C-alpha cells in the first residue's frame, strides 16, 4: 500500500508539472500555485499535529515570520531573493526551538493555547514595529512571472513532501514521533527523549512554513499583518490536515486540494454567498471530526491512523486497575 | 549472593503527607531473580518508578552497577541497561505490534530497517510473531502484557523490572509468561519482579523482599519469607499470625 501511495504521489507531481504547459491562463496558474502552497503548509503542519499529536495553532506565525523575513531582508537589506528565502526558513526553525523548549513540555491542550498566543503576539509585533511597516505592511519588488512562481512552488512543495515522506514513513524518526504521540511515558522507558524529539519535529514542521511564507511574499508582492499573520493560514492548514487525515501526509495533501478547490469555486462563482463559505466549511469539519476521525484517507484506505480493535474481547474492557480493586 | 547489580540504599519517597517509601534498602545481584511483594498500596510500583527514573526519591540513593544513578531520567537508565514494564500496560495503540517493538529496538539499532529485523527476532522469542501486523490496540490483555515484556527485552537490558506481568492472565497464559521470564533469565538478565500471585513469586525468585506501608518488613529466601509472622500478619491480618 505504501508503494502504491508513493506511486500516486509521483503521478500527482508529474500532473502538476505539466499543467503550465497546457494552459496560459494566469488565473488558473495562480490558483494551482496557491493550491500547492496549501499542500505544503498542511503536510508540514501534519508533522507535529498528526505524527506527534501536538496541535500547533500558531502555524501561521511561522509562515508570516518567513514572509516578513524575506520582505525585510530584500527591501531593507537588499538581499537576493534566494538568500532572503533561506533566511526566512532558518528563522522560522530557530523560532520553533525557542518557542518549543518551554511549550513542548506542556500537555497537548496547553501547547495549542501557547502557540495560539504566540501567533497573536507575533502579529502584534509586526503591527507596532517600524521596520515591518506596521499596519501598512510591506511591498516587495514586483517580479511578475507566474511560471517562475508556479515552478518554484512546485519544486519546493515536492521537496518538502519527499523529505517529510522519507523522514516520517521510512526512517526511525517518524516511528519515534508516533511512539511519543501514543504514550510519552512509555516512550521514555524505551530510551526516547521526548522533548528533544518533539523540538526536532517542531523545526521540521515550521521551516517549510517559513520558506513557503517567503515565496508567498515575493509572489503576491504585498504583505501585511492581517494577510500573513492572521488566523487564516493556521485555520486552513489545520482544517485541511484534519479533513484529509492526520498523520498520513497524503491525507493533508488531499485535504488541502479539496478544501482549497472548494474555497476557490465558492469565491469565483458564488461570491454573493461568501458568508456561507465559512458556515459550510465549519459544518464539514465538525462532521468529519465526528464521523471521520481518520479523515478522508481513512475512509478510502479503510485503515486509519489509530485503529480501534475490531473485535475487542469483553474481558479486556475493564482496565486492569479496576479489576485489581475488586475483592 | 553474586556481584551486586542494583542497590537501593535507604530510599524514602514522600508525596505530600504520604510516605510511599520509608527508608527502603535492598539489592539485586547479577544473575538473580528478586521478587517484590506486598499488599496493595505497599509502595511496590513507587519503588519501580524510583529505580526506573520516573520518580526522584525524596531521600536515599540508587546505584546501578556501582554507579550512582539516583534521579537519572528513564531514557538515560534505559541506555545504561535498566528496562521496565508497566503494570498499567502502555502499548503504542495506533502502531502495529511490530512497530511497537521496532521503536524499542531503535535504542541499539538506530536504523529503522535494522531495528525492524531485530524486532522480528524479539517477536519470535516472545511468541508474538503471528500478531506482528496487528495494531497493538487489538491485542488481548495477555498479548499486551507480553508486548510489554517484548519491548523491555528489546532494550537488551541487564536488569529487567517486571510489574505484574502475570496478574490477570488465565493459568495457561500465566505458565507461558513464566516460561518466558525464565528464558530471559537464562539468557543472563537479572530480574526484579513485582507480582501478586504467590505461586509465581515463590517458584521463580531466588530472594523475596516484602513491602508493607512503604517499609521493607522482610527479606530472604521465598520459603523463609512465607513463614515470617510479620509477613503473614501484613497479608492476612493479626489474627492469622
Please give the average per-residue pLDDT across B127-142, as a whole number: 94
pLDDT at A312 over 70: no
Instruction: State pLDDT tens for residues A211-236.
Output: 999 999 999 999 999 999 988 899 99
Please determine, for residue B98, whether its predicted confidence score (pLDDT) is greater than 70: yes
A316 pLDDT higher than 60:
no
pLDDT tens profile B100-124: 999 999 999 999 999 999 999 999 9
The answer to whether residue B65 scores a pLDDT higher than 50 is yes
Same-domain pairing of B31 and B113: no
> What string of DSSP letters covers A173-192?
HHHHHHHHHH-HHHHHHTT-
Put simply, the answer to whether A312 touches B167 (Cβ < 8 Å) is no
- Measured distance CA(A71)–CA(A77) in Å, rounded: 9
Contact (CB<8Å) A306/B168: no
Q: What's the whole-number mean pLDDT along residues B88-96?
A: 93
Higher-pLDDT residue of A141, B106? B106
Shared domain for B101 and B184, answered yes or no, is no
Based on the fold, state whether residues B60 and B168 are members of the same structural domain: yes
Judging contacts by C-beta atoms under 8 Å, the chain B residues touching residue A314 are none
- pLDDT of A64 reads 97
Highest-confidence segment of A311-325, B30-44, B116-130: B116-130
Residue A275's pLDDT is 79
Q: Measure Cα distances from A275 to A266, A282, B50 in Å.
A: 10, 12, 58
| Pick from B141, B149, B132, B161: nearest CA to B47 | B161
Question: Domain tally for chain B?
Answer: 2
Polymer length of chain B: 241
Shared domain for B183 and B79, answered yes or no, is yes
Are B174 and B76 in a shared domain?
yes
Asked if the Cβ–Cβ distance from A309 to B137 is below 8 Å, we say: yes
Q: What is the pLDDT of residue A6?
A: 74
pLDDT digits (tens, 9 = 90+) for A22-39: 888 888 999 999 999 999
- Answer whether residue A317 shows pLDDT above 80: no
More confident residue, A181 or A6: A181
Instruction: Give the span between the Cα atoms of A212 and A24, in whole angstroms.
Output: 24
Residue pLDDT, tens place only, A98-134: 999 999 988 878 999 999 999 999 999 999 999 999 9
CATH at residue B69:
3.40.50.300
Kindly state whether residues B202 and B109 are assigned to the same domain: no
Instruction: Give chain A's mean pLDDT.
Output: 88
Which residues does chain A have within 8 Å of residue B135's beta carbon, measured at their own beta carbons?
Answer: 306-307, 309
What confidence tier does A307 reach under pLDDT thresholds 50, 70, 90? Answer: very low
Q: Give residue A315's pLDDT.
A: 38
Residues B235 and B172 in one domain: yes
Q: What is the ipTM of this complex?
A: 0.92
Q: What is the pTM of this model?
A: 0.89
Q: Provide the residue ranges of all domains of chain A, joining segments of one domain with +.
A: 2-230
* Residue A310: per-residue pLDDT: 40
Q: Per-residue confidence at A326, pLDDT binned at 50, 70, 90?
A: very low
Domain that holds residue B205: 4-91+145-240
Higher pLDDT, B165 or A4: B165
Q: Spell out the residues 6+ positions from residue A306 whose beta carbon is closer than 8 angstroms to its own.
A: A182, A294, B93, B94, B135, B137
Residue B233 shares a structural domain with residue B190: yes
For cell 519527499, name the residue: A162
Residue B82 has pLDDT above 90, yes or no: yes
**Residue A193 touches chain B, beta carbons under 8 Å:** yes
| Strands in B71-172 per DSSP E | 82-84, 159-163
Verify whether the Cβ–Cβ distance A188 to B73 is below 8 Å: yes
In angstroms, the separation between the Cα of residue A2 and the nearest Cα of chain B is 14
The verdict on B83 and B165 lying in the same domain is yes
Which residue, among A187, A189, A312, would best test binding to B if mutated, counting the most B CBs under 10 Å from its CB?
A189
Whether A175 sits inside 8 A of B112 (CB atoms) is yes
A190 contacts on B by Cβ (under 8 Å) = 75, 78, 103-104, 106-107, 151, 154-155
One domain for residues B133 and B150 = no
Nearest CA to A4 out of A297, A309, A307, A308 is that of: A297
B83 and B151 belong to one structural domain: yes
Say whether A221 sits in a helix, a strand or coil.
Answer: coil
Pick from B106, B137, B168: which is nearest to A176 by CB?
Answer: B106
* pLDDT tops 50 at residue B154: yes
Amino acid at each position: 500500500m505504501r508503494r502504491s501511495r508513493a506511486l500516486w504521489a509521483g503521478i500527482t507531481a508529474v500532473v502538476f508539472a505539466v499543467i503550465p504547459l497546457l494552459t496560459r491562463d494566469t488565473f488558473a496558474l495562480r490558483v494551482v500555485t496557491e493550491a500547492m502552497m496549501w499542500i505544503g503548509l498542511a503536510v508540514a503542519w501534519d508533522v507535529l499535529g498528526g505524527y506527534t499529536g501536538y496541535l500547533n495553532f500558531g502555524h501561521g506565525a511561522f509562515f508570516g515570520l518567513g514572509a516578513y523575513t524575506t520582505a525585510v531582508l530584500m527591501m531593507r537589506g537588499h538581499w537576493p531573493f534566494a538568500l532572503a528565502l533561506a533566511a526566512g526558513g532558518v528563522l522560522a526553525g530557530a523560532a520553533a526551538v525557542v518557542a518549543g523548549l518551554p511549550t513542548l513540555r506542556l500537555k497537548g491542550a496547553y501547547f495549542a493555547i501557547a502557540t495560539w498566543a504566540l501567533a497573536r503576539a507575533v502579529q502584534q509585533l509586526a503591527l507596532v514595529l517600524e521596520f515591518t511597516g506596521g499596519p501598512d505592511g510591506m511591498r516587495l519588488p514586483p517580479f511578475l512571472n507566474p511560471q517562475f512562481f508556479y515552478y518554484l512552488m512546485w519544486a519546493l512543495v515536492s521537496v518538502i513532501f519527499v523529505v517529510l515522506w522519507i523522514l516520517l514513513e521510512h526512517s526511525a524518526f517518524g516511528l519515534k514521533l508516533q511512539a511519543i504521540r501514543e504514550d510519552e511515558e512509555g516512550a521514555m522507558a524505551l530510551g526516547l527523549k521526548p522533548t528533544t524529539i518533539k523540538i526536532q519535529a517542531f523545526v521540521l514542521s515550521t521551516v517549510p512554513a517559513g520558506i513557503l511564507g517567503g515565496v508567498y511574499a515575493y509572489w503576491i508582492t504585498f504583505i501585511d499583518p492581517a494577510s500573513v499573520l492572521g488566523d487564516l493560514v493556521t485555520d486552513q492548514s489545520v482544517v485541511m490536515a484534519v479533513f484529509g487525515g492526520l498523520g498520513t501526509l497524503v491525507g493533508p495533501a488531499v485535504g488541502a486540494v479539496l478544501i482549497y478547490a472548494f474555497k476557490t469555486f465558492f469565491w469565483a462563482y458564488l461570491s454573493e454567498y461568501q458568508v456561507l463559505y465559512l458556515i459550510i466549511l465549519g459544518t464539514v469539519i465538525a462532521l468529519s471530526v465526528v464521523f471521520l476521525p481518520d479523515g478522508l484517507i481513512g475512509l478510502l484506505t479503510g485503515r486509519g491512523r489509530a485503529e480501534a480493535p475490531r473485535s475487542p474481547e469483553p474481558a479486556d474492557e475493564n482496565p486492569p486497575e479496576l479489576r485489581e480493586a475488586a475483592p | 549472593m553474586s556481584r551486586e547489580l542494583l542497590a537501593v540504599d535507604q530510599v524514602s519517597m514522600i508525596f505530600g503527607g504520604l510516605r510511599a517509601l520509608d527508608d527502603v534498602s535492598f539489592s539485586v545481584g547479577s544473575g538473580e531473580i528478586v521478587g517484590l511483594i506486598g499488599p496493595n498500596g505497599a509502595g511496590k510500583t513507587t519503588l519501580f518508578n524510583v529505580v526506573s527514573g520516573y520518580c526522584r526519591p525524596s531521600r536515599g540513593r540508587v546505584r546501578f552497577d556501582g554507579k550512582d544513578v539516583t534521579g537519572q531520567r528513564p531514557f538515560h537508565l534505559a541506555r545504561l541497561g535498566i528496562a521496565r514494564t508497566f503494570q498499567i500496560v502502555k502499548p503504542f495503540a495506533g502502531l502495529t505490534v511490530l512497530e511497537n517493538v521496532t521503536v524499542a529496538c531503535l535504542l541499539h539499532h538506530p536504523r529503522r530497517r535494522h531495528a525492524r529485523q531485530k524486532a522480528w527476532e524479539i517477536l519470535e522469542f516472545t511468541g508474538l510473531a503471528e500478531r506482528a501486523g496487528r495494531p497493538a490496540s487489538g491485542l488481548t490483555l495477555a498479548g499486551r502484557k507480553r508486548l510489554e515484556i517484548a519491548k523491555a527485552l528489546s532494550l537488551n537490558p541487564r536488569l529487567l523490572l517486571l510489574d505484574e506481568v502475570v496478574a490477570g492472565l488465565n493459568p495457561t497464559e500465566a505458565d507461558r509468561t513464566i516460561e518466558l521470564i525464565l528464558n530471559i533469565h537464562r539468557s543472563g538478565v537479572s530480574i526484579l519482579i513485582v507480582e501478586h500471585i504467590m505461586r509465581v513469586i515463590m517458584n521463580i525468585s531466588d530472594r523475596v523482599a516484602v513491602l508493607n506501608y512503604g517499609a521493607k518488613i522482610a527479606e530472604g529466601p521465598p520459603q523463609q519469607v512465607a513463614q515470617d509472622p510479620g509477613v503473614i500478619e501484613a497479608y492476612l491480618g493479626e489474627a492469622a499470625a
